[in-house]
């Protein structure tokens, strides 16, 4: 069985590498052609940035495969030798976090290189090493605070319940929903300062926009994203009464108020169409399938790894193969998501009064984020949750 699993993982890695290579070849050719939306100089620069990111992605994929080979050979047995505890729950927690920390240490240099070499070279990174390390420390502390109880609950169900995979799914799925509710009010402020938008015409326009679609929020906030990155963004976070409208300060600075209204109108389109609940349903389906599969792995699989079928092995197996399952479902999710984006664009153009405002906002997002506006069809199929900007502009052009 290990052979079959290894072949599946190898095919997954080979597919990722092939897509990256095709993307690099496509952009290498396109960046020297006729520029689209960007000046010739910025078009070439955006192409180079995309190629650099994809080369880093190739290295990450190779490391991912190396980690997989390590774990399924002697890795789990080596890790087990360092876990000394007679208590099964404690053993599970230490084993799982040993797995997480080891993987994080191996991949950490890639994150540093991406931020302080690639992003720095292209003018995106505004962070410092001190701030980056502080963010990393906060993430680690959050992982422990949130992760330890989760692992304890999962271990309890896996060791005591007959339908442990179903109970485990319900716990994780419930926590995902809970995390969405807490993120804008408790988690995001740990990393960025959120300031209520100052009274003025922009705030009045936004609040009137929210009333038009019946969106009740706990406030409109500006976030100091510029201290880490120069890219533009906005989002609606949370569920229920915890919902917040969050605007990057870079977005407020670069967009005209009516263009910002168009962008928020697009996001409100997702709210009006219930897209966040559709996404949660897709995630729930993926998790259910993963836990069902996990619950029916034969003991032979773990025996071939030289390990017993235990709660810690079940959890790390889930973590090891989740990227493979995600890769399989992403094209389906992408088709749904890209359709939803077109519908949200339509609402954004309606709420702003004219599609030209959203079109101009999209163009500025491409320019300011230095995003190369074209991609290989295979890359779009597997990774794009938003339609290519050219398709969005064309669709908006039909609404005049």
Residue by residue, DSSP assigns 291-321 as HHHHHT--HHHHHHTT----HHHHHHHHHHH
CA distance 215 to 391: 28
* 251: nearest Cα among 365, 116, 105, 109: 365
Locus of tokens 């120069």 = 230
Query: Is there a contact between 83 and 95 (Cβ–Cβ < 8 Å)?
Result: yes
The active-site residue, picked from 64, 119, 312, 345, is: 345
Neighbours of 230 (CB within 10 A): 18
Q: Supply angle C-alpha 230, 233, 236, rounded to 5.
A: 150
Q: Which residues contact 41 (CB under 8 A, 6 or more apart)?
A: none
Strand 244-248, strand 194-196: pairing: unpaired
Annotated active-site residue 345? The verdict is yes
The active-site residue, picked from 119, 259, 267, 312, is: 267
Annotated active-site residue 119? The verdict is no
- Supply the residues annotated as catalytic: 267, 345
């Amino acid at each position: 069985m290990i052979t079959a699993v290894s072949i599946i993982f190898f095919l997954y890695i080979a597919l990722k590498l092939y897509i990256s290579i095709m993307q690099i070849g496509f952009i290498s050719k396109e960046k020297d052609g006729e520029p689209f939306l960007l000046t010739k100089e910025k078009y070439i620069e955006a192409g180079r940035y995309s190629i650099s990111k994809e080369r880093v992605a190739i290295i990450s994929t190779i490391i991912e495969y190396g980690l997989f080979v390590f774990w399924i050979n002697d890795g789990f047995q080596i890790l087990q030798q360092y876990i000394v505890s007679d208590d099964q729950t404690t053993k599970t927690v230490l084993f799982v976090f040993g797995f997480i920390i080891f993987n994080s240490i191996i991949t950490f240099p890639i994150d540093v290189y991406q931020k302080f070499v690639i992003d720095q070279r292209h003018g995106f990174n505004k962070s410092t090493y001190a701030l980056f390390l502080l963010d990393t420390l906060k993430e680690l502390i959050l992982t422990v605070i949130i992760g330890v109880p989760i692992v304890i609950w999962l271990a309890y169900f896996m060791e005591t319940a007959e339908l442990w995979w179903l109970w485990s799914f319900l716990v994780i799925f419930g926590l995902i929903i809970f995390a969405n509710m807490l993120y804008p009010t408790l988690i995001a402020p740990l990393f960025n300062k959120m300031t209520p938008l100052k009274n003025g015409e922009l705030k009045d326009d936004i609040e009137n926009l929210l009333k038009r679609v019946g969106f009740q929020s706990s406030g409109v906030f500006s976030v100091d994203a510029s201290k880490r990155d120069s890219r533009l963004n906005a989002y609606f976070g949370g569920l229920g009464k915890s919902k917040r409208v969050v605007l990057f300060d870079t977005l407020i600075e670069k967009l005209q108020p009516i263009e910002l209204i168009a962008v928020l109108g697009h996001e409100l389109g997702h709210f009006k169409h219930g897209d966040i609940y559709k996404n949660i349903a897709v995630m729930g389906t993926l998790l259910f399938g993963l836990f069902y599969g996990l619950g029916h792995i034969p003991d032979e699989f773990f025996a071939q790894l030289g390990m017993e079928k235990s709660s810690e092995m079940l959890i790390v197996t889930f973590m090891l193969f989740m990227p493979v399952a995600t890769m399989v479902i992403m094209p389906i999710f992408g088709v749904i998501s890209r359709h939803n984006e077109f519908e949200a664009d339509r609402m954004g153009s309606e709420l702003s009064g004219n599609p030209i405002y959203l079109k101009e906002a999209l163009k500025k997002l491409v320019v300011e984020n230095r995003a190369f506006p074209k991609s290989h069809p295979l890359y779009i199929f597997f990774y794009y949750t938003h339609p290519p900007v050219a398709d969005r502009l064309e669709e908006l052009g039909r609404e005049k």
